[in-house]
Structure 1
Amino acid sequence: MKKILLPALIVFSLFSANCLTNVEDNTGEIPSEPISYASDIQPIFNARCTVCHGNNGGVNLSSYQALMNSTGNFYGTNLVVPGDAAASGLVDVLEPNPQNNNPMPQGSSLSGNDIEKIRAWINEGALNN
């Protein structure tokens, strides 16, 4: 019995340690390195947004060009104001606030870390990089 218990305990310990190191960072800290649209922002949109906000009209998050040309019904202006995340409608609809009772994406909002990446990318000038 001891021959089985010790290896099982070791495997369980390694699995548990791996789970703890793979926990998603939801701290909302601003990343220290420049944000890349292609490798940091578009993957968030692809995973969480483009099912509804793809090529079917309205707000389109399927590509950089589509995002930069999207206005949305609420804002009447572009959703992204390069260099000014606070004035960007995109950030407004992602964050829970009293005026926005149902932040996007519907059902489950983005992590604080993902929202901070988007905010930092916009504040860095919303570059197509």
Structure 2
Amino acid sequence: MKLPQILILASLVALSACYYDNEEMLYPNESSCYDADVSFEVDIKPLIITKCATAGCHVSGTGRVVLGSYSSIKNIADDGQLKDRVLTRKDMPPGAPLSACDQDKLRAWLDNGAINN
């Protein structure tokens, strides 16, 4: 082999040893879509309103528990219905369960005492 061919081969070998791993791609279940400080106002209330209230289920006149205020959501969080229906049985919201990220947010908020923050 001539010197230019050896240099090219050596360069290719050296470059092939260098690669970049994206942590999210390597460990998709390890990454988090939220920080540890889940907020009722920022994370949970919009989630409940979008997935439960504006979906036409938990609004006035439906005969169901009306969700939207902190006190109404806190009541079903305290009696265990929210965790049971959304995180355990996953039959709410109807049609499809919450995304894994939204379930993680809700679980973290419930585990932190379902505070109004």
> Shorter-chain TM-score category?
0.5 to 0.7
Query: Given the alignment of the two structures, is residue 58 of structure 1 paired with residue 67 of structure 2, yes or no?
Result: no
Query: Given the alignment of the two structures, is residue 43 of structure 1 paired with residue 46 of structure 2, yes or no?
Result: yes
From 77, 82, 105, the counterpart of 1:80:
77
SS state at 1:80 partner = helix
Equivalent positions of 1:44-123 (< 5 A) are 44-50=47-53, 51-56=56-61, 57-69=63-75, 79-81=76-78, 88-95=80-87, 100=89, 103-123=91-111
| 1:28-78 per-position Cα deviation (integer Å, ceiling 9, x unaligned) | 847333111011001111111002112334322211112223xxxxxxxxx
Aligned Cα root-mean-square deviation (Å): 2.6
TM-score by length of 2: 0.61
Unaligned runs of 5+ in 2: 1-27
Report if aligned partners of 1:31, 1:120 keep a CA contact under 8 Å in 2. Answer: no
Report if aligned partners of 1:59, 1:67 keep a CA contact under 8 Å in 2. Answer: no
TM-score by length of 1: 0.56
SS state at 2:60 partner = coil
Q: 2:14 maps to which residue? A: none
In structure 1, what is the Cα distance between the partners aligned to 2:43 and 2:94? 21
Tell me which protein shows more helix as a share of its residues. Answer: 2
Report if aligned partners of 2:59, 2:67 keep a CA contact under 8 Å in 1. Answer: yes
Seen in structure 2, the aligned counterparts of structure 1 residues 30 and 90 have a Cα distance that, compared at 3 Å, is farther
In structure 2, what is the Cα distance between the partners aligned to 1:30 and 1:119? 13
Unaligned runs of 5+ in 1: 1-25, 70-78, 82-86
The higher radius of gyration belongs to 2
Q: Percent identity?
A: 34
